[in-house]
Amino acid sequence: MALKVALHRLVFTHRTLTIWASSQRHSRHRDLLVNLSESVRDTRTFSGAAVKRNDNKEGTSDYSRLSTKVTSRKRRPLSPLERISGLLPQDALSPEVMQLREQESDKGAEIQGSVPNRTQVEVGDEDIVKKSEHQAHSPPVGAEELDTGSVHHREKQVWAALPGERLLTCGELLVAEYRRKRMEFRKMFQLQTGARLESSWGVILHNDIAGQPAGQFLKTHRGVPIFIRRASLEDYVLCMKRGPAIAYPKDAASMLMMMDVTEGDCVLESGSGSGAMSLFLSKAVGSKGSVLSVEVREDHHRRAVLNYNRWRTSWSLRRGEEWPDNVQFHKADLCTASSLLAGRGFHAVALDLINPHLVLPTVIPHLHPGAVCAVYLANITQVTDLLEGVRCSTLPLLCERVIELPLREWVVAPALQKDGRYCNKKGFHPGFGLSQDGEASEESDKEDLTTEEDPDPPFGSIPYIARPHPEQMSHTAFLVKLRKCVQ
């Protein structure tokens, strides 16, 4: 019992001492605050500006009599040492730390004092105060709707066009590209009056693009250069709206070589899809040739026609002449549409079907002897089914080739250092890298780092980095070349 009483007294004494010490600290802090308020009683601060009070009359606080100098100077950022030491009690800091803090604060004050004040006004002039506040607190570009006249502060330049060159006009299909290290931005769009090209790197008004030459860098409102150029047929095919999968340009080019399509040929296409192969065939046969494109599905047929007409419209604005209207789209099934082919002969046939061997008995009789039927197939099992169908149907066809076309892109660029400077190609010298004492010599390396970079390095002085592109196109299709032979 006596032990418990003694323990309670000890706890009570400890709490009393703690409360007394805390009250003493608060009392000291209160005295410091009082002294501080008395030392700055002649200065009032608000919104980052200092205002000196005019005490010409007693008991007045009218702000119209205040003579002030408002500055738009921002507060100096604290160094890591100042941040950490500010969290600790002053008596816990060593003299060395206090000396370092004073040096950094003096250095920061010199840097801040070297920046000129952009706004110096009297408080009584309300109009100038409002104007300066509007300039200092205006929202950044992009926080609200962009001003059409403030995105590009440049005058329209008059370009001397080369013979046959045409400036960009509304209605054309363009491609915007931006590449930085592994980040790539690529977008196809149609140039329209009053529209905007939006991306993660900023906005470019279409009105600023119209009237400019193709192949030019234009800066967004954030200052990022975007490369603007006309869309080629390859770009259009890869970026246009699709229904089914398309015949990729690398495969379409090989099919055109297999079929040996030239200007003036008459070609049959079965499986219009999204219209990609139709466009390539239309370009190959020219204005003197013709293409008959047949599609069994209504949605695919409609999509192919829309994509074909859209490209023709853009081409007419680009070149000032019409793209040949040499493709006839039909919605039909070739297995039962022999009347559609009646009286026709074809120099080549391109098939992009799930079961192409089912239409061969209808198509091959209209193919010229010695001509080629190129078949586009997605997987190898379709290839075996096609060849088995050719064997069982006893058609006069000879399978010449079955190929798959891999495409491997490479990245080849100058070698850069971390600071963005070009690396220097170093040649071999006898005894290079060893000093007389047998240790590695670092003087030459230090000289290379300290010397200024040549703005126009000579030929062969910069090493290059070559590696495969991280994003590779995998398998697209198998191509089968069937040639009609006379038995």
Both structure tokens of 390: 């050719």
For residue 440, the model assigns a pLDDT of: 45
For residue 428, the model assigns a pLDDT of: 60
- Residues with Cβ < 8 Å from 483, sequence gap 6 or more? 370, 371, 372, 373, 397, 398, 400
Q: Which has the closest alpha carbon to 348: 292, 273, 425?
A: 292
First to last CA, the chain: 123
Q: Which has the closest alpha carbon to 175: 163, 166, 184?
A: 184
> Tens of pLDDT along 292-327?
999 999 999 999 999 999 999 999 999 889 999 999
For residue 296, the model assigns a pLDDT of: 94
- Top CATH class of 236-404 equals alpha beta
- Residues with Cβ < 8 Å from 174, sequence gap 6 or more? 168, 188, 189, 190, 191, 209, 214, 228, 229, 230, 231
What is the sign, positive or negative, of the torsion defined by CA atoms of 391, 394, 398, 402?
negative
Both structure tokens of 157: 């330049």
Half-sphere CA count of 223, side-chain side, radius 13 A: 1
Q: Which has the closest alpha carbon to 243: 186, 170, 302, 296?
A: 302
Task: Taking each helix axis as running N to C, give the angle between helix 249-259 and helix 276-285, from 0 to 180 degrees, rounded to the nearest 10.
Answer: 40
User: From residue 191, how far is each of 92, 168, 236, 311 by CA, in Å?
Assistant: 67, 8, 14, 13
- Residues with Cβ < 8 Å from 263, sequence gap 6 or more? 284, 285, 286, 288, 289
Buried b (16+ CB within 10 A) or exposed e, 458-482: eeeeeeeeeeeeeeeeeebbbbbbb
Distance from C-alpha of 251 to C-alpha of 389, rounded to nearest angstrom: 23
The answer to whether 165 touches 222, Cβ cutoff 8 Å, is no
- Residues with Cβ < 8 Å from 293, sequence gap 6 or more? 269, 270, 272, 278, 281, 304, 327, 328, 329, 330
For residue 45, the model assigns a pLDDT of: 38
For residue 68, the model assigns a pLDDT of: 38
Strand 346-351, strand 266-270: pairing: parallel
Buried b (16+ CB within 10 A) or exposed e, 343-380: eeebbbbbbbbeebbbbbebbbebbeeebbbbbbbeee
Distance from C-alpha of 308 to C-alpha of 272, rounded to nearest angstrom: 11
Backbone φ and ψ of 479, nearest 5°: -115, 130
Both structure tokens of 251: 């495969």
For residue 131, the model assigns a pLDDT of: 40
Most distant pair of Cα atoms in the chain: their distance: 125
Q: What is the DSSP letter of 456?
A: S
pLDDT, one tens digit for every residue, the chain (487 residues): 666 666 667 666 666 666 656 656 656 655 665 565 555 444 443 333 333 444 444 444 443 343 334 344 456 677 776 777 777 766 667 776 777 777 766 665 555 554 444 333 333 444 433 443 444 344 444 433 444 443 444 444 555 567 878 899 999 999 999 987 667 789 999 999 999 999 888 999 999 999 999 999 999 999 999 999 999 999 999 999 998 888 999 999 999 999 999 999 999 999 999 999 999 999 999 999 999 999 999 999 999 999 999 999 999 999 889 999 999 999 999 888 888 999 999 999 999 999 999 999 999 999 999 999 999 999 999 999 999 999 998 899 999 999 998 888 888 988 888 888 888 887 665 655 544 444 444 444 444 443 445 667 888 888 998 988 877 776 788 999 999 998 7
In CATH terms, the fold of domain 172-231 is Vcp-like ATPase; Chain A, domain 2 (3.10.330)
CATH 3.40.50.150 in the chain, residue ranges: 236-404
Distance from C-alpha of 327 to C-alpha of 269, rounded to nearest angstrom: 10
Q: What SS3 state is found at 44?
A: strand
Q: What is the DSSP letter of 265?
A: -
Q: Which has the closest alpha carbon to 216: 148, 154, 147?
A: 154
The answer to whether 349 touches 271, Cβ cutoff 8 Å, is no
For residue 166, the model assigns a pLDDT of: 87
CATH 3.10.330.20 in the chain, residue ranges: 172-231
For residue 367, the model assigns a pLDDT of: 96
Where do the H-state alpha helices sit in 338-397?
360-363, 380-393
Question: What's the pTM value of the predicted model, to 2 decimals?
Answer: 0.63
Distance from C-alpha of 277 to C-alpha of 39, rounded to nearest angstrom: 85
For residue 308, the model assigns a pLDDT of: 97
